[in-house]
A = this chain, B = another copy of it.
Amino acid sequence: MPTTSHSGEVPARRKRADALRNQQTLLAAAAAVFVTSGVDAPIREIAARAGVGMGTIYRHFPTRADLVVAVYRHQVEACAEAGPTLLAGADSPLAALRQWVDLFVDFLVTKHGLANALQSDSSGFDALHTYFLDRLVPVCAQLLDAAVNAGEIRPGTHAYELMRGIGNLCVGRDSDPRYDPRRLVELLLQGLQRPQPS
Contact = CB atoms under 8 A, between A and B. Distances in A.
Interface of A: 116, 119-121, 129, 157-158, 160-162, 164-165, 168-169, 171-174, 178-180, 183-184, 186-194, 197-198
Copies of this protein in the assembly total 2
A158 B198 CA distance: 23
Given A188-B191, A198-B193, A183 B161 contact: yes
A164 B107 CA distance: 20
B188 A161 contact: no
Contact of A178 (B120, B161, B171, B188): B161
Contact of A189 (B160, B191, B192): B191
A161 B174 contact: no
Given A157-B187, A188-B191, A191-B187, A169 B165 contact: yes
Nearest to A184: B165
Given A119-B173, A172-B168, A173-B119, A197 B188 contact: no
A179 B164 contact: yes
6 cross-chain pairs, A with B, having the tightest CB-CB distances, nearest first: A191-B191, A190-B191, A187-B191, A121-B173, A165-B184, A119-B172
Contacts of A157: 183, 187
Given A165-B169, A188-B188, 20 more contacts: A119-B172, A119-B173, A120-B173, A157-B183, A160-B179, A164-B172, A164-B179, A165-B187, A168-B168, A168-B171, A168-B172, A168-B184, A169-B169, A171-B171, A184-B188, A187-B188, A190-B194, A190-B197, A191-B194, A193-B194
